[in-house]
Structures are given as C-alpha cells and as structure tokens.
Amino acid sequence: MKPYSEAVEAALDAVAEHLRHARTALFITGAGISADSGLPTYRGVGGLYDSEATEEGLRIEDALSGEVFAMRPDITWKYLIQIEENCRGAKPNAAHLAIAALDEHLDRVMVFTQNVDGLHRQAGSQEIVEIHGNLQELECTECSHEEFAADLSGREVPPLCPECGAVLRPRVVLFGEALPEEPLDRFIDAFQEGFDIVFTIGTSSIFPYITQPVVLAAGSGIPTVEINPSRTMLTDIVDYYLPLGAAEAMTAILERLALEQRSG
C-alpha cells in the first residue's frame, strides 16, 4: 500500500472499519470522480470552458440553459455535443469500480451523482440516481419519441425527431431548470430510510441538494467521508476528510477491506 501521512492513514483505516460493519452506504459523486477517466471537471459539464464566453458571446451556463435551448437549440446542442465528445470512449476508473464492488458486500449501495457521463452505470452499480440526467437518453420536445444514443457523432445540430421532426433533447437538467421530481423523491425516500455511512466524492459541494444530506448525516451521528483533493464547505463538517483523488482513495479503502474491484 502507498504510504500516507499519519492523519490520512488513520482516516483510511477508520473509514474502512466503518464500511466493514456497514450494511448500507450512500455515495454522492461529482465531476471529480471521473477525473481519472480523463474527463475534465468543470462543475460536471466537461471542463472545456476556461474562457469567460463562448463563441456566441454567451457564458457557458447561459449556452447550456433551458432558456437558450428554447430559443436557439442549435447553440445549446453545439456545446452538449462537445461535452458528449469528451465523455465518449471514457471508461470507469478504479473509484467507479470500487463503488460497484461494494454492491456485492453490502445490502444497499446508492449512488447519487451529478454526473451525466454514465460511468457509474458502465461500472455496474445497481442503484443510481442521476440527478442531472445523462447524455445518452434522448427525448422529443413535442411527441413521445425516445431513443438511446451511445454517441452523437454525425448527428445534425440540433438533432430532430424521426417521428415528428421536432427538436430532440437529452434527458439532462440544463442550467435554470428544476431538478426532476422522480429521481429526487427516490433519493429522499432512501435517505429517510437511512444509511450507515455517507461519502461525498469529487464534488465542489456548492448545491444545497448535495450538501444538505451530508450535513444531516453528520448531525445525526452517521459517519461521513469527503474524498476531494480540494477543501470544500463540507470539509470541516465531515468526520473524515481524505485529500486524495477518488480512484486513489477508493483503491486504498478497498485494499484495507481486502475486496476485489469489479472489472468494467
């Protein structure tokens, strides 16, 4: 095992011990968990946009907003396709695979993810709430047509419905849109049933629906863990802070549990 500071070693040992006795676990994940899969980490939408404005003179948050999609779907789709191109071909890394491996050893493992890259599904996790949706599921804005698109290469911009000719959109939450009720309700119901340990991995923790479950768990005496190379507003709230990359931290925890990662 890789040597760490005494504080990190102690935290890894303690987290592994809690997991050893847990029956249920919640993993709240953000863009950072996919960094080791080669995906950049711009708040979950691809890390492509370091400049202040897009080619159209819009902030990327505006180009990827529901308001702009309603008026200029070609602009929104242009950047959705760039994000999809970045995700295309990416494979689950050791962190995704470690979480999936825990499905075989715990009664319940829920993944509540902000990511739209589908890597938790590829890794084999069984119970996933994709709160921002995913880029692979498309639906018509006018009729009931739905389709699965493994990649968007070669599609017209914007893609049109083969049934009625209206614009298609992926099932993702664009900026300014409300979170989908069904997956949010599913997550709330599971959280109210309770988890034995709660992890937050690779998220900047700026949204209340990400931070509140961790704060509530910590306040209820449930062990809480943050895995993130950078400190966040949750760092001083959680029981254990691991200043490591997601893949490195989860590998170290599984090594302590002597569990094998599932192959992706």
Q: Which residues are catalytic?
A: 132
Cβ(132)–Cβ(114) below 8 Å: yes
Task: For the sheet with 168-172, list strands across it.
Answer: 146-148, 133-140, 168-172
DSSP class per residue in 40-60: --STTS-S---SSS-TTS--H
Which among 134, 120, 107 is positioned nearest to 194, based on CA atoms? 107
Beta-bridge partners for 201: 29, 227
Q: Which helix (H) or strand (E) holds 139?
A: strand 133-140
Cα–Cα distance between 188 and 190 in angstroms, integer? 5
Distance of CA 176 to the CA centre of its chain: 19
| Secondary structure letter of residue 176 according to DSSP | T
Cα–Cα distance between 158 and 167 in angstroms, integer? 6
Cβ(92)–Cβ(125) below 8 Å: no
Amino acid at 255: E
For 137, the 3-state DSSP assignment is: strand
Cβ(213)–Cβ(111) below 8 Å: no
